Amino acid sequence: MIRRWGYVGITAVLAVVVAIWAVPELGRDTVTFVTIGQTGPDGGPPLPSLSPDLLIYPGTAQILLLAVGVGLLVQIYSTAYLGHHPRYRSYALVIVLFLIAMIAVVGTTNLWVLLVGWEVMGLCSYLLIGHEWESPVARAGAAKAFLVTRIADLGLVMAIIVIGETYGTYDIVGAQVAQSEQPRHATLIGLLVLVAVVGKSAQFPLHTWLPDAMPGPTPITALIHAATMVAAGVYLAARLFQLYADSQVVLTAMAVVAAITMLMGALFAWVQTDLKRALAWSTVSQLALMLAAVAVGDPEAGTDHLLAHGVFKALLFLGCGCVMLAVGSSALSSMGGLRRRMPVTFWTMTAGFAALAGLVPTAGFFTKDSVLHAIERATDGDRGLAAGTAWVLLVVALVTTFVTAAYATRLWVLTFFGAGHGAGPHGTLGQDVREAPLAMAGPLVVLAVATFALSVGQPLHLGTGLLSTVIAVAGVAAVLVAARRGSTLAWAPRPLAAELWLDRPFSRWILALGTGASRVVVELDREVVDVYPRGGESLAATISRGLGLAQSRNVQRYATVLAVGVVMLVVIGVVVS
């Protein structure tokens, strides 16, 4: 027990340090350097330097605080949720490692340091998804997440190299300064960054790993796969926005990806029969919304929504964890009627679902409003994105808003209302279904409060705000009415239920392609390439057989040869002289 709280203590120390560093920067608009280590002759770090080069941008302080704050809450939550797990220690320490990596990604201005943090996050994600490695599902999910994000990370590596080659520095600020003087290679950089973002933030078409990452412990899902790591993709897109802002190709591609992903994720979330998986698809959809904000040229709106989403999605996942602990499953069919048994979870998750649906006065409403407003502003076509694209994006976003409100309400209803489907032997809930312990409920309350508190001081855009509220209320109302009429809310067309077979390329075609290609390569290797090594080998063997005659492994023979040599040298020396 004490040991568990020791890990909480470590996390708390980390959080306090970050807070001391970041809190004074909260309101700042200008860039402040906190450079540790050496700088190069031109002020930026010399090429591939690995000095931390810590730097707070406007807006990054919030993300840092979000990361360590959620991290601390998750750590506290885990003491109760996972405290008796035999591998709790590695779990807790990986969380700390993850947080440090996240700080490195968000807090640095050196692209290589960012890459290191990025990869460490990927590693932590892999380790934590596979935490229950006894189950094959967890192993497969971890491997899939690892492989997919690794492929996408190649994009980041190449983007970093291209940035370095283009602007002569691996420093983000330096690159931005150089870009403001003479922009170059915006499209290339932008596309490579987009690849990285698509992988990390689980956007179409590399989105399939995130739902499969759900076998990981629920607190981890809340921390990594909702609040921070996947958000880091969006963060990167926003951070490097200036470098590719001039490229209409990139922005259009990003908008298309965002549009497809947000609607697809929302629809998939609707049809899920598993609460946790539904929330995962919801995350994919919400991340796409943030990406849309970046695509229309308002990265601040994107990071704001990132912040709010981080809070309420962490809340939802943690609440989901409480429910799972109570009913022993994440299937919606085993839930229902929980609102009396688990009042804290019910009310806090209600706040979370409200934020997800974009209802006033939660933070989710205001930040989504900002995003919609940004998209709406882009429809005039002078913000880098073609007006037509922006219109399509706006429509898709509004549809998504409706679907989001609908599936949020559906999940809320199915989880907390009704008689309780099949949980007990006679359709009633079991006796052991009770409220989560304090260590789990506490973080929920904190996050619920934050869900409302973050809306303080957010800008309000009346037109879009009104529109989105109407749409969201419509979605909520439609579902509530259907539920009141006795619908099971199980409307799921086959293509949607199968998630449009989008996973098929990964699970079958690529596999088959890879297998076939591997066979060819193996044959090629065996029949063609191996000729050289084999020839070299036999040549070496022949030579060594010859030389081996001298290597008798007998010290005395060596000594004899040595003595013969000495005597001969002396004799020659005497004769010559």
Partner 1 sequence: MSLLYPLLLSSALFGIGLYGVLARRNAVLMLLGVELMLNAVNLNLVAFDAWFADRMHTGQVLTLFTIALAAAEIGLGLAIVLALFRAVRTVDVDEVGR
Partner 2 sequence: MNATEVVFVVLSVLAAGSALLAMTSRQLVHAALWLVVTLGAVAGCFVLMTAEFIAWVQVLVYVGAVVVLVIFALMLTRQGREQGSGTTAEVTGNRWIAAVLGVVAAVGLGATTIAGFGGERIEGRRIGTAASIGDALFTDWVLPFEILSGVLLAALVGAIVLSRSGSDR
**C-alpha–C-alpha distance, residues 103 and 36, integer Å:** 15
Closest CA to 193 of 262, 250, 247, 249: 250
Q: Could you give the count of Cα atoms lying within 13 Å of 58 in the half-sphere of its Cβ? A: 8
Backbone angles phi, psi at 409, to 5 degrees: -65, -40
**C-alpha–C-alpha distance, residues 313 and 227, integer Å:** 7
**C-alpha–C-alpha distance, residues 312 and 433, integer Å:** 24
Minimum CB separation of residue 568 from partner 2 in Å reads: 10
Q: Which does 180 bind (CB under 5 to 8 A by kind): partner 1, partner 2, none?
A: none
Residues 175-204 that bind partner 2 (CB under 8 A): none
Minimum CB separation of residue 566 from partner 1 in Å reads: 10
**C-alpha–C-alpha distance, residues 441 and 342, integer Å:** 10
The encoded tokens of residue 296 equal: 């229309």
In the chain, % helix, strand, coil (3-state, to 5) comes to 75, 0, 25
Under rule CB under 8 A, residue 571 binds partner 2:
yes
Q: How far is CA 390 from the centre of its chain?
A: 26
The interface region with partner 1, picked from 172-180, 238-246, 477-485, 552-560 by CB under 8 A, is: 552-560
Q: Which does 38 bind (CB under 5 to 8 A by kind): partner 1, partner 2, none?
A: none
Under rule CB under 8 A, residue 569 binds partner 2:
no
Sign of CA dihedral 346, 348, 349, 353: positive
Q: Which does 571 bind (CB under 5 to 8 A by kind): partner 2, partner 1, none?
A: partner 2
Which bin fits 501, alpha (ψ -120 to 50), beta or left (φ > 0)?
Answer: left
Helix/strand/coil for 505: helix
Q: Which does 570 bind (CB under 5 to 8 A by kind): partner 2, partner 1, none?
A: partner 2
In degrees to the nearest 10, what's the CA dihedral of 70, 75, 77, 80?
180
Minimum CB separation of residue 526 from partner 1 in Å reads: 36
Minimum CB separation of residue 563 from partner 1 in Å reads: 6
**C-alpha–C-alpha distance, residues 190 and 243, integer Å:** 7
Q: How far is CA 454 from the centre of its chain?
A: 22
Q: Which does 539 bind (CB under 5 to 8 A by kind): partner 2, partner 1, none?
A: none
Q: Where are the alpha helices (DSSP H) in 485-530?
A: 494-497, 504, 510-524
Q: 324 with 214: CB under 8 angstroms?
A: no
* The one among 563, 572, 576, 577 contacting partner 2 by CB under 8 A: 563
The encoded tokens of residue 531 equal: 């000729």
Minimum CB separation of residue 541 from partner 2 in Å reads: 26
Minimum CB separation of residue 560 from partner 2 in Å reads: 5
Residues 6 or more apart in contact with residue 413 via CB below 8 angstroms? 479, 480, 483, 489
Residues 430-489 that bind partner 2 (CB under 8 A): none
Minimum CB separation of residue 569 from partner 1 in Å reads: 15
* The one among 570, 573, 575, 577 contacting partner 2 by CB under 8 A: 570
In degrees to the nearest 10, what's the CA dihedral of 483, 487, 490, 496?
-80
* The one among 556, 575, 576, 577 contacting partner 1 by CB under 8 A: 556
Under rule CB under 8 A, residue 567 binds partner 2:
yes
* The one among 150, 434, 504, 557 contacting partner 2 by CB under 8 A: 557
Rank residues 180 and 554 by Cβ distance to partner 2 and give the closer one: 554
- Beta-bridged to residue 34, according to DSSP, are 54
Considering CB under 8 A, how many residues would be counted as binding partner 1? 8
Q: Which does 553 bind (CB under 5 to 8 A by kind): partner 1, partner 2, none?
A: partner 1
The encoded tokens of residue 348 equal: 């806090």
Q: What is the DSSP-derived secondary structure letter of residue 7?
A: H
Measured between alpha carbons, how far apart are the two ends of the chain, in Å? 88
* The one among 426, 554, 574, 577 contacting partner 1 by CB under 8 A: 554
Rank residues 30 and 554 by Cβ distance to partner 1 and give the closer one: 554
Q: Where are the alpha helices (DSSP H) in 417-455?
A: 438-453
* The one among 428, 538, 544, 560 contacting partner 2 by CB under 8 A: 560
**C-alpha–C-alpha distance, residues 183 and 175, integer Å:** 10
* The one among 380, 481, 552, 570 contacting partner 1 by CB under 8 A: 552
Rank residues 30 and 554 by Cβ distance to partner 2 and give the closer one: 554
Minimum CB separation of residue 554 from partner 2 in Å reads: 8
**Window 405-444: contact mask with partner 1 (x via CB under 8 A):** ----------------------------------------
Rank residues 516 and 565 by Cβ distance to partner 2 and give the closer one: 565
* The one among 470, 564, 569, 572 contacting partner 2 by CB under 8 A: 564
The interface region with partner 1, picked from 188-196, 361-369, 510-518, 547-555 by CB under 8 A, is: 547-555
Rank residues 151 and 566 by Cβ distance to partner 1 and give the closer one: 566
In angstroms, the Cα distances linking 198 to 160, 213, 277, 413 are: 16, 16, 19, 32
Rank residues 180 and 556 by Cβ distance to partner 1 and give the closer one: 556
Minimum CB separation of residue 544 from partner 2 in Å reads: 23
* The one among 1, 549, 553, 573 contacting partner 1 by CB under 8 A: 553
Residues 105-164 that bind partner 2 (CB under 8 A): none
Q: Which does 555 bind (CB under 5 to 8 A by kind): partner 2, partner 1, none?
A: partner 1
Q: 306 with 234: CB under 8 angstroms?
A: yes
Binding stretches for partner 2 (CB under 8 A): 554, 556-557, 560, 563-564, 567, 570-571
Binding stretches for partner 1 (CB under 8 A): 552-556, 559-560, 563
